[in-house]
Amino acid sequence: MEILISFILPFVLLLTVVVFIHEYGHYYFAKKYGVGVTDFSIGFGKELFGFNDKSGTRWKFCAVPLGGYVKFFGDRNVFSQAEQDELLKEYRKEDQKKLFVVKPIYQRSLIVAAGPFANFVLAILIFAFIYMFAGKDFTPAQIQDVQKDSPAFVVGIKNGDIISSIDNNKVNSITQVSTFINASTNDQISIEVLRNDKTLFFQLYRNHLKEKIRLVIKLIGRLLV
């Protein structure tokens, strides 16, 4: 049961989203260029449930959720003009316009390529989302070790203090501490810390920091450099 919940269900859910986006790319351009779509299926095999929309497309979920497909009206492989002419004889003039094989080659190419392109766009959106919300380091810049007689110790910074800003630059994570210190051009560096829900301000001289920065503060296993 744990494997089912932890691995199988998330995998099936993710695959369903990827398949839907892929097939919807085919579907969108097919409808755009007037190709009839009879089936939009998520999964293969026996249909579990589904519905028909106004245009007659059957939207359905099937028993084997390992893929999907979009079926075009009169879907059939045609390899020659003679075969295409034979196919057209099977349909009325009105229905012939819905056939995939009668569309210009650029339209057919776009319909075929739309599925992979939709997944490409999905991948960009996913990575952008990860970068914006999960790919950044938000580890608090909490001081773990202030060495005795270091510049930080002398001015009164203590273990457990959380650095909230450096030279009025808000600090959101450990990685920003060294960046803001190295970027400062002032003789003094202003450091704002939180201690027991109180905000405290300290001034550290840059010339001391240049020489002793590696010995000043250890932030969760990292040296402040």
Q: In the CATH scheme, what is the code of domain 145-223?
A: 2.30.42.10
How many other CB atoms sit within 10 Å of the CB of residue 176? 18
pLDDT at 223 over 90: no
pLDDT score for 128: 85
pLDDT, tens digit (0-9, with 9 covering 90-100), for 54-106 = 988 999 999 988 899 999 988 776 656 777 777 777 888 888 888 888 889 99
For the chain, percent of residues with pLDDT exceeding 70: 84
pLDDT, tens digit (0-9, with 9 covering 90-100), for 140-182 = 788 877 777 777 777 888 888 888 888 888 888 777 777 787 7
Per the model's pLDDT, the better-predicted residue between 7 and 160 turns out to be 160
Whether 23 is a known active-site residue: answer yes
How is the chain split into domains, by residue range? Answer: 2-134, 145-223
CA angle at 27 for the pair 62 and 55, rounded to the nearest 5°? 85
Q: What is the pTM of this model?
A: 0.59
Active-site entry in 2, 23, 86, 94 = 23
Question: Quick one: which of 73, 106, 103, 104 has its CA closest to 91?
Answer: 73
% helix, strand, coil for the chain, step of 5: 45, 30, 30
